[in-house]
Structure 1
Amino acid sequence: MLQETETTPRPLESPTDGTPGWLKLPGLAQLGPAFFTALRPTPLSQPHWIARNADVARLAGIDPQWLQSEEALVILSGSTVAEGTQPVATVYSGHQFGVWAGQLGDGRAILLGETRGGQEIQLKGSGRTPYSRMGDGRAVLRSSIREYLCSEAMHGLGIPTTRAMALIGSPDAVYREQPETAAVVARVAPSFIRFGHFEHFSARGDEASLRKLADHVIDRFYPECRSGEAFEGNAYAQLLHAVSERTAALLAQWQAVGFCHGVMNTDNMSILGLTIDYGPFQFLDAYVPGHICNHSDNRGRYAFDQQPSVAYWNLLCLAQALLPLIGKEETARAALESYPPAFAREFKLRMAAKMGLPSRAAESEAFVQVLQSLFDLMAQDAVDYTIFWRRLSHAANATGSEAPSAQFAPVRDLFLQRELADSWLDRYRELLAQHADPAACKAMLRVNPRFVLRNHLGEMAIRAASQGDFSLVNTLQDILTTPFDEHPGHDSLADFPPDWASHISISCSS
C-alpha cells in the first residue's frame, strides 16, 4: 500500500463483522494491502439521477426498485458509504501509447464491492485516490454520458463489455479545457483487473504478489487452466493462452462492427476480454481503415486498422509480465501463437455472417477475395459502414418480382463508382447463391445493426443534458439496447451523420 500523504484520502477501518448481503469486499482487495488502498469516495454536492439501468441491477443481483431510492442515489454518487462495506482503489502500471508509464492505478475510480450476483460495482469520477497523480479524480458530464451509453450499446451488439448501472450528475465544477459539470458512472463487471495489474507486480520484481494475482484470476475466472494439459500443464501459460483467445475474439468483434477504442494502452485491456475504459471511442461513419478517433493520438498508434496488431503487442507485454511464473520464454511465446490465427478465424466468421453466408463459406478463397475487394471499394468511396451493411441485409432478404439490380439499388447508391459497385454486387450474389443458406441470410438483420452510437448522437445527447434535458440519453439507451430492431419513429437516429459530425474532436481529456 502507498504511504499516506496530505492528499491521500483517509483509509477506512476494515469491517470485522461481515458486509451487507448485497455487497462484499471485491476479490482483488482480499489479496492483501499491496493491491489496493482503502478510502472513501469524495461526495458530490446535489447529486441527481441522469439515467438508471434496471437490467444491470438484475444482473448484479440487486432489486431494480432499489435504483429508485434515495439510498441508491447517495451510495452510487459516492456521497455515502454503505454500512459495513470497504471501498478501495487498486494499483496497476502499464504502457501508454507504447511507452512504459510506470505506476498508474485507479486515479478516479473506486470499487464499492462485489454484489451477490458476482459483479463488482465501481464508481468512475468519484474523487481523488493515491493513484490520481496530478488529476482531480473527477469525470465530466460529456465523457460520462458517452461511457454510459456506449457500454450499453456494446452489450446490445453482443460484444463483451463492462456495463453501466447508473449515471449521476452534479452541478460541481470540473476544470478541463473549460469549466464543466461533474458526473459519476456506476459501472459493473465481474472484475476490473487489467493487463496492467500484472505488469505492476512483475516490474517491481514482486513475484509473490504476481503469483497471488494470477492464482486469483485462474481460480475465479479460468479454472480450466488448472486441469489443462497444454504447455506441460503450466497453468500460467494456459492463462496467457486463454486471455489471448478471448482478446482475439473481442478484437474481431470490434473490427466487424466498426468500433474504434481510441486508447488501447495495456492498462485499458481487460484480463477477461471485456471492452473497458470508454474514452475517445468512435463507431465508424465512413469506412476509413486508418481512421484515428482520438485527437490525442498524433501518430495514429490506435487507428482503426491498427487495433488487432496493438492488441497482440499488448499481449506480448502481458506475456513478459507473466514470464516469472511461466518460466520459459519459448513456453510464453507458444501460448501467444494462437492469437493471429484466432483473430483471423473469428473475423472471417463474423464477416461471413454479416454477408449472410454460413460459417463454412468463411474458409473459401472466393469469400476472402470478395471481402477484400469490398473493403477496397468501400475505402475508395468512403462508404458509410453501418448503413452499407444494413442495406445489404435488407437487399439480400428482399422478396418479390423485382430484378436483383432493383433489389440492390439502395446498396449501389452508396458508392460513387457505380460500375465497380455493380461488379462487386454480381460477385456477391454469386457467392450468396453458391452457399445458399436461407437461415444465414435471414440472420443478417440480427448481425448488422441499424443503430450504433455515432459520435454526433452522443454529442446531441450531451448538449441536451448540459441544459438539463436527459430525454435523449434515455431514448438512446432504450434504442441501443436493441440495435437490430427497426424502432419506428426514430429513423433520424439511424441516418447519415450531419456535416458537422466530422468536426467533433474527442481526446483523452475527460
Structure 2
Amino acid sequence: MFHNHDSILVQEYASLGAPYLVEVPATPLRTEASLLHLNATLAQEIGLDAQHLASAEGINTLSGNTPFPGYQSRASVYCGHQFGQFVPQLGDGRALLIAEIRKGKQYRQLQLKGAGPTPYSRHADGRAVLRSSIREYLASEAMQALGIPTTRALSLTASADPVFRETTETAAVVCRVSESFMRFGHVEFFCYTNQLDALRNLLTWHIEQHHPEIDLGDSETSFHTGLLQWLATVIERTASTVARWQAVGFCHGVMNTDNMSSLGLTIDYGPYGFIDGFDIDHICNHSDHQGRYSYRNQPRIAHWNLYALAQALSPLIPDSKETLQNLLDGFADAFHAEHSALFAAKLGLPATKGDPIDILIENTLKFMHEHKLDFTRFFRSMSALDPHAGAADNFALWQSSPFFPLALGDEQQVNNAHAWLAQWLAMANSTQASTADWRATLDQTNPAFVLRNHLLQHAIEQAQKGEFSEVNRLFAALSDPYDSTQLPSEYIAQPPEWAQSLVLSCSS
C-alpha cells in the first residue's frame, strides 16, 4: 500500500476513541466498483503506492468494500448552526475516517465520503451520487491549484448501485485527504452537551497535533492563553481563506458552522460555484432562499461562525468575554488586509494600504456588477494593458485580449469602461516593473480557467452515460489554471447563455 518506508499507518486521532469517534465499518457496494480517477500526484505526496491503489485490491479499499489494512474505520460526532439555526447533533453521516498516515512531520487523514451510513446518518443511506462526487473531487484539486486552503481528493470510485434522490442516480465514493477534518461543530457539540472535560481533551490533542507553536503549558493560565492563541489563529486563517474565495469569485453555498474547518480549509463542496457574470449578491445554492450565503455575505457569515465558535469555547476560558470579543473584532481587519492585497495584485498594483486602492477595488467591483462582466475573464484581460501607456492606447490593447470582457455595442458600458480605465491608470502609472514582467506576474495571479458549473455539468452528463474522458480532461486542465496556451479553447471562452439557468442545491 505504501510507496516507501518513510510513510507509516498511525492511530493518533483514532486513539482518542469515545466520545469523539465510533468504530463503524463501511458498507460494501453491491455492484462492482470501478476507479474513475486517481490523483497519482497526491498519492505520492502522502506516500501511497499509486499502482497498488489502481489495482483491484486498492479499488476495494478506496470504495469502502474492504478496510484499509490495519485500520478500523470511524465516524466522528459534531453539531452546528445550519442556515443560522442550531442543530444539536450532526456528525459524519456518510463520511468515514479510513486511515491516518504519517510521513516524517507530515500527517494526513484519509476519509471516504459516500461509503454507507453511520450512527449520525439521521435515517439517510450514507451514500453519495456520481454527480456530487465529481463536483467535490474536481473542486478540491481546482482550489488547491488556485492556492486556496482546501481538503484534497485522492480518488473517485463508482458503481451501478442505485441511489435515490430527486431521481434515481448511481453511487460514487470520494476519498478525500486532509490534515484534519475537525470543524467548528466539533467544539460546539462538546460544549452544548456539557462535556467540557471531553472538549478540553479534544482541543488539547488538536492543538498539540496541528499547532506545535502553541504551548498549552501545565497551568490553567497557560491553557487559557493557549486556547486564545489558537482562536486567534483560526480567525486569521478563516479570514484569509474567505478573502481568497472572494478573489477568485468562489461561492461555497453552505457556510454552516459544521462546514467550517478549524484549520481554515475549504471543506464540504456541495452547491458551490465560481461566478460567471459578476453579481455581488450571487447565490449559488438554490436552497438558500434568503441569500444568507451569497457572495457578498460570505465574509459576514464567516465572522458570525467564528462568533459561534468563540461562544462554544468560552466555558473553558473563564472571564474571557472581553478578550474573546477583541479577538473577534480583529476578523474585519484581517479580512480587509488580505482582500485588499489580493485585489491589488489582481489589478497589477502594489499592495499599498489606504483609501486610494480600496476605492479603486470598490469601483472595480461596482463596474463589474453594473454590467455583469465575467469575473474571471475581466481580471485575466488586465494583462493586456500597459501601465506605462496612455488611456487610448490601453483601451485598444484591452480590446486585443482574447479575454476582453466588454460588449462594444453597449455605449454606456464602453463609456464606463473608459472612466474606470482612467482611474486605474492614475494608480498604475507609477509601476516600476517593465511591461513584460508586469504582464507575466499578472498572468500568474489571475487564472485563465476556473471550474465553471457549465463545464462540470457537461462532464457529469458524459459520466452518467459511462464516458469519463471529460472528467479526465478537466482534471488535467485544473492542475495549471494560469497557462492559457495549454487550455482547451472552450474552457476559457465566455460561458454559454444556458449556463445561467443551471440550478444547484444541497441534494447529493
TM-score by length of 1: 0.91
User: CA separation in 1, counterparts of 2:428 and 2:363?
Assistant: 16
- The equivalent residue for 2:247 is 256
The answer for the alignment partner of 1:423 in structure 2 is 419
* Corresponding residue of 1:82: 68
Q: Which residue of 1 aligns with 2:337?
A: 345
Alignment of 1:420-499 (within 5 A): 420-438=416-434, 439=437, 441-488=439-486, 490-499=488-497
Give the SS at the match of 1:315: helix
Residue of structure 1 aligned with 2:384, choices 370, 394, 399 = 394
Instruction: Give the direction of change, closer, same or farther, for the CA distance of 1:381–1:308 in structure 2 (3 Å limit).
Output: same
* CA apart distance, 1:330: 1.4
> For residues 465 and 334 of structure 1, do their structure 2 counterparts lie closer, same or farther at Cα, with a shift above 3 Å needed?
same
For residues 325 and 432 of structure 2, the distance between their equivalents in structure 1, rounded to whole angstroms, comes to: 41
Distance apart, 1:411 and its partner CA: 4.9
Which one of the candidate residues 1, 19, 22 is aligned to 1:34? Answer: 19
Amino acid at match of 2:347: M
Distance 1:287 1:415 in 2: 19
**Structure-2 residue corresponding to 1:14:** none
Seen in structure 2, the aligned counterparts of structure 1 residues 304 and 489 have a Cα distance that, compared at 3 Å, is: closer
Deviation at 1:440, TM superposition (A): 5.2
The answer for the alignment partner of 1:174 in structure 2 is 163
Pick closer, same or farther for the CA change 1:28–1:227 going to 2, 3 Å: closer
1:239 aligns to 2:237 (yes or no): no
How many Å separate the matches in 1 of 2:359 and 2:223? Answer: 39
Question: 1: CA distance between counterparts of 2:37 and 2:50?
Answer: 13
How far apart are residue 441 of structure 1 and its match? 4.8
Provide closer, same or farther for how the CA distance between residues 172 and 397 of structure 1 changes in structure 2, counting only shifts above 3 A: farther
Maintained 8 Å contact 1:26/1:120: no
The reply to whether residue 294 of structure 1 matches residue 285 of structure 2 is yes
Segment of structure 1 superposing worse, 162-171 or 406-415: 406-415
- 1:223 deviates by 2.1
Greater displacement, 437-446 / 281-290: 437-446
Give, in whole Å, the separation in 1 of the partners of 2:10 and 2:291.
40
Q: In the alignment, which residue of structure 1 is the partner of 2:55?
A: 69
Letter in 1 for 2:491: L
Distance in 1 between residues matched to 2:302 and 2:409, nearest whole Å: 32
Listed as ranges, the matches of 1:183-262 within 5 Å are 183-226=172-215, 234-262=225-253
SS of residue matched to 2:171: strand
Structure 2: distance between partners of 1:178 and 1:487:
40
Q: Which amino acid aligns with 1:94?
A: G
Unaligned runs of 5+ in 2: none
Q: Distance in 2 between matches of 1:383 and 1:419?
A: 14
Choose the corresponding residue for 1:375, options 360, 365, 369: 365
Show the counterpart of 2:396: 406
CA offset at residue 338 of structure 1?
1.7
Q: Please point out which of 308, 311, 318 is paired with 2:309.
A: 318
Q: Which amino acid aligns with 2:332?
A: P
Shift of 1:103: 0.5
Could you tell me how far 1:399 is from its partner in structure 2? 9.5
Partner of 1:265: 256
The CA deviation string for residues 157-196 of structure 1, in whole angstroms up to 9 with x for no partner, is 0100000000001000000000000000000001100000
Q: Deviations over 1:192-230 (max 9, x none)?
A: 0000000000001111110011111210112222179x9
Residue 80 of structure 1: SS of its match in structure 2? coil
Among 46, 51, 54, the alignment partner of 1:60 is 46
The answer to whether the aligner puts 1:94 opposite 2:85 as a matched pair is no
> Could you tell me the percent identity over the aligned residues?
45
State the match for 1:354 in structure 2. Answer: 346
- RMSD across aligned positions (CA): 2.1
Distance 2:108 2:223 in 1: 33
- The answer to whether the 8 Å contact 1:25/1:86 transfers is no
The corresponding residue for 1:309 is 300
Task: Select 1:162's aligned residue among 151, 174, 191.
Answer: 151
CA distance in 1, matches of 2:480, 2:257: 31
Q: Indicate how the Cα distance of structure 1 residues 257 and 489 shifts in structure 2: closer, same or farther if over 3 A, else same.
A: closer
CA contact under 8 A between 2:6 and 2:47: conserved in structure 1?
Answer: no
Deviation readout 1:127-153 (Å, 9 max, x if unpaired): 000000021100000000000000000
Moved more, 366-375 or 33-42: 366-375
8 A contact 1:256–1:351 mirrored in 2: yes
Residues 231 and 238 in structure 1, CA contact (< 8 A), matched pair in contact too: no
Deviates more, 1:191-200 or 1:484-493: 484-493
Q: Is the 8 A contact 1:479 1:487 kept in 2?
A: no
* SS of equivalent residue, structure 1 residue 116: strand
CA drift of 1:61 comes to: 1.6
Amino acid at match of 2:44: R
Correspondence 1:39-50 to 2 at 5 A: 39-44=24-29, 45-50=31-36
Q: Is the 8 A contact 2:387 2:429 kept in 1?
A: no
- Among 274, 279, 283, the residue aligned to 1:283: 274
Instruction: Structure 1: state its 5+ residue gaps.
Output: 1-19
- Normalising by structure 2, report the TM-score: 0.92
Number of aligned residue pairs = 487
Tell me the distance in 1 between the aligned counterparts of 2:241 and 2:97.
25
Q: 1:434 to 1:120 in 2, by over 3 A?
A: same
**Cα gap change, 1:399 to 1:376, in 2 (>3 Å):** closer
CA deviations 1:55-94 (Å, max 9, x no partner) are 1112222122223222210000000013321110010011
Aligned equivalents of 2:482 and 2:439: distance in 1? 15
Q: Which residue identity lines up with residue 356 of structure 1 in the other structure?
A: G
- CA distance in 1 between partners of 2:168 and 2:175 (Å): 23
Q: Deviations over 1:12-62 (max 9, x none)?
A: xxxxxxxx9956355432223100110110111210011110111122221
Q: 1:395: Cα distance to partner?
A: 2.9
Measure, in 2, the Cα distance between the counterparts of 1:291 and 1:419: 25
Matched to 1:461, the amino acid is A
Q: Are the aligned partners of 2:360 and 2:424 in contact in 1 as well (CA < 8 Å)?
A: yes
